[in-house]
Structure 1
Amino acid sequence: MDKYTEGHGDRGPAPLGAMTLPPAPESVSLARRWFRKFITPSDPACSVDDCSLLISELVTNAIRYAESDDSWVVRVEWFREGTSLRVEVHNPGFPANVQLRRPDANDSHGRGLLLVDSIAESWHSGPSRFGGTVVSFVVADAWPA
C-alpha cells in the first residue's frame, strides 16, 4: 500500500517528506509525482525536475536490483540539511551491489547512478536503517542561506 508519512520518530531528524512504495514499475512515476507535490510547500530553489529524475533512477534501481524472500517496499525520504536537500531511497538489497557503471553507448541500462553522479553534489550507498540498502544523494544550495 502506498503511504505518505510526515514523522520520523526517534530515528533522527524528521524528513520533509517520505513515501512507501510497492516494488512495481508504476511506483517510479508515483515517486516523481509525490515528490513534486510534497516538496513544493518547502519552496526549494533547486531544480525539482532534476531531483525527480534522480529519484526515478534510484527507485527504478531499487525495484530492479533488490532481493528479498519476504514482501518488501521501497522507502523514499527527503530532508533539509542547512541549505542542502538530501534524498534517501531504501530497499532490501545488498549494499555491496551498488556500483557506478560506465555503460557503452549501445547499453540499454546502467545509467541511473551515472546520472545521479553527474547531477547531485554527492551520493552515497550503504546499509539502510530499515535493513538492506540505502542510496542517497545531496543537492547543494537547494534553499537560500
Structure 2
Amino acid sequence: MSTRARLTPATPPPAVAYRLPRDGRSVGWARKELRRHLRARHIDSELAATAELLLSVLVTNAVQAQAAHAPVTATPPIGIRFALSAGRLRLEVQDASNEQPVRNKQVEEDEVCGRGLLLVDALASGWGVVYQGGTGKTTWAEVALGSGGGARHVGQP
C-alpha cells in the first residue's frame, strides 16, 4: 500500500436513490434496499418496520398510478430515494402521474385496497406531494428517528 493511501471506514451515504421498473416486484425490491440501507446505519427496530410499510404503500401507489397513466412501454421508471438527516428518515417515491393521491376516509371492511394513505397518515411524522410541472410527482413521507409519529400532512417539504 502506498504511503499516501489511507483506509477510511466504509460509511453509507446519507441518501441513496434508485430507478425501478413500473412493476409490482419493485415494491419488494424497494423494501429490501431500504432494509439494507437502514441496517448499514444501525437502524433495525420498529422504526425500520414502519419505514418499510410506508415505502411499500408509496411504491404500490406509484405503480398503480402509472399503470392508469400509460402503457408499460411508454412510462418512465419509478424513482425512490431514502435520506437520513437531522434526526429524520425521508422516503420519496417519484412517478409520472400527475394525479393527486387520495386518502380514503371510509373503506369498507371487505375492500382489499384503499387503506394505504390512511396508514401513511397515521405512521409518518409528515407526508406530502410535490408536483414536477406536468411531468409527474414525488410523494414523500418522513419518520422521526427515535420517536413514534404524530402524523401531519403537508403539501411541500
For 1:63 and 1:128, the matched residues in 2 are separated by 18
Amino acid at match of 2:144: A
The structure having more radius of gyration, on CA atoms, is 2
SS of structure 2 residue aligned to 1:19: strand
For 2:81 and 2:133, the matched residues in 1 are separated by 12
- Larger displacement relative to structure 2 (125-134 or 17-26): 125-134
For 1:62 and 1:26, the matched residues in 2 are separated by 12
- Larger displacement relative to structure 2 (116-125 or 126-135): 126-135
For 2:70 and 2:133, the matched residues in 1 are separated by 16
For 1:16 and 1:120, the matched residues in 2 are separated by 18
SS of structure 1 residue aligned to 2:52: helix
Residue 99 of structure 1 corresponds to 102
Residue 19 of structure 1 corresponds to 18
For 2:134 and 2:104, the matched residues in 1 are separated by 26
Deviation at 1:79, TM superposition (A): 1.1
Deviation at 1:97, TM superposition (A): 2.2
SS of structure 2 residue aligned to 1:37: helix
**Native 8 Å contact 2:82 2:90 kept in 1:** yes
Q: Is the alpha carbon distance of 1:39 and 1:18 closer, same or farther for their aligned partners in structure 2, counting shifts above 3 Å?
A: farther
Residue 37 of structure 1 corresponds to 36
For 1:34 and 1:129, the matched residues in 2 are separated by 29
Query: How large is the RMSD of aligned CA atoms in angstroms?
Result: 2.3
Deviation at 1:33, TM superposition (A): 0.7
Q: Is the alpha carbon distance of 1:86 and 1:130 closer, same or farther for their aligned partners in structure 2, counting shifts above 3 Å?
A: farther
Matched, 1:109 2:113: yes
Amino acid at match of 2:65: Y
Q: TM-score, normalised by structure 2?
A: 0.73
**Native 8 Å contact 1:86 1:139 kept in 2:** yes
SS of structure 2 residue aligned to 1:72: coil
Matched residue pairs, number?
129
Amino acid at match of 1:125: V
- Larger displacement relative to structure 2 (112-121 or 102-111): 102-111
Consecutive unaligned residues in structure 1, runs of 5 or more? 1-13
SS of structure 1 residue aligned to 2:119: helix
For 1:42 and 1:128, the matched residues in 2 are separated by 30
Runs of 4+ in structure 1 off by over 4 angstroms are none
